[in-house]
Amino acid sequence: MALHRLMEMEVGVPDPSTLDDFYQEIGFTGEKGVWGSETYPGQIKVSEASYRQLKYIKMACEDDADIAAIKTRLDAIGVAYEHSNGELQVTDPINKWRYVVAPSAVTDQITMPRRALNSPGNRERVGERAQVLIEPSPRTPRRLGHVVVGSPDPQKTTELCLALGFRASDTIGGGMATFMRCSRDHHNLLVTPGPVPYLNHYAMEQDDFDAVMRGATLYLRAHGEENQVAGPGRHQIGGNIFWYMKDPSGTFFEFFADMDNIENDEAWVVKDDWDMTDAWSIWGEKDQPELFFKVPDMEELITGWNASQ
């Protein structure tokens, strides 16, 4: 029994309509303030807030026995919770965003059509043009895959997330940054240091390399290189192909594909001793851009956070 899926998140921004337009543009379906893919609708909620922020993330567990186990772990670390209408809700005492856990049926991702590829000695595409060239429209993001947050006390935040049922996949700096999963994905949540609590970025899964490259290219062609953040590349930690950009609210978003998949929790070994030469990406940009450590609107986030306390 365990958490098995990242269900949704809610973000707050000063002008929600800009994100409504953005999600529609990249191919999500929905309506005002509620967006997702055709197969995973409603994964991203948008509401009005005085500054951009994460409001909550919601995870699926298997049954009420999971909820009871989470309560026991939260009691052990002294964190309060509410349990009503079948859902467990916890307000993070440090960061003030909420975590929601709800029982839901265990389901795997819906299988998408796989493009045939040619490689040495393995010719899948014979006598036909590359499928990315002849598809009537670009493939769209399939789901919200993970969320990355900054916290003034990342280790305490990680302790709470582990009590909620997340599993640690890999760490950096002895736990200063922790990649955690609530599914078979290598990570659904990453907690990193930050001067105040803030949403660093969120990531949407694409089908493959071509979908990441094409989706990002079309977005940047339409909105300018000033919205480029980092990529393309392939992370060593998590193994996924990535490309990061800025959405209209100023939050970084990522298109990713081909992430590590962890089916056997007991067999997976958490790693911390990374070779920092290629820790960011094994090809493409060598070093992680400084923007990830101090986002451009950090002063606005600090001011907004302080005013809300």
284 in a structural domain: yes
Q: Hey, which residues does 13 pair with through a beta bridge?
A: 48
Q: Which helix (H) or strand (E) holds 234?
A: strand 228-234
- 278, 24 in Cβ contact below 8 A? no
CA dist., res. 164 & res. 149, Å (int): 16
Can you give the pLDDT of all 309 residues of the chain as single tens digits?
Answer: 589 999 999 999 999 999 999 999 999 999 999 999 998 999 999 999 999 999 999 999 999 999 999 999 999 999 999 999 999 999 999 999 999 999 999 987 778 888 999 999 999 999 999 999 998 999 999 999 999 999 999 999 999 999 999 999 999 988 889 999 999 999 999 999 999 999 999 999 999 999 999 999 999 999 999 999 999 999 999 999 999 999 999 999 999 999 999 999 999 999 998 887 778 999 998 889 998 989 999 999 999 999 999
Pairing state of beta strands 189-193 and 143-151? parallel
Q: Please give the residue range of the domain that contains residue 255.
A: 5-106+141-298
Query: Closest Cα to residue 161, out of 173, 143, 146?
Result: 146
Residue 279's pLDDT is what?
81
CATH number of the domain that 87 lies in?
Answer: 3.10.180.10
236 in a structural domain: yes
CA dist., res. 75 & res. 67, Å (int): 12
Pairing state of beta strands 252-257 and 198-205? parallel
CA dist., res. 263 & res. 26, Å (int): 30
112 in a structural domain: no
Domains held by the chain: number: 1
Residue 75's pLDDT is what?
98
Residue 113, SS3 per DSSP: coil
- 305, 197 in Cβ contact below 8 A? yes
At a CB cut-off of 8 Å and minimum separation 6, what does 111 contact? none
Query: Closest Cα to residue 62, out of 23, 4, 139?
Result: 4
Residue 21, SS3 per DSSP: helix
Residue 263's pLDDT is what?
93
CA dist., res. 232 & res. 235, Å (int): 10
Residue 76, SS3 per DSSP: helix
Residue 98 tokens read as: 């909420």
Residue 1's pLDDT is what?
58
172 in a structural domain: yes
Residue 173's pLDDT is what?
86
Q: Hey, which residues does 170 pair with through a beta bridge?
A: 179, 271
Environment class of 307 (CB within 10 Å of its CB; exposed 0-12, middle 13-18, buried 19+): exposed
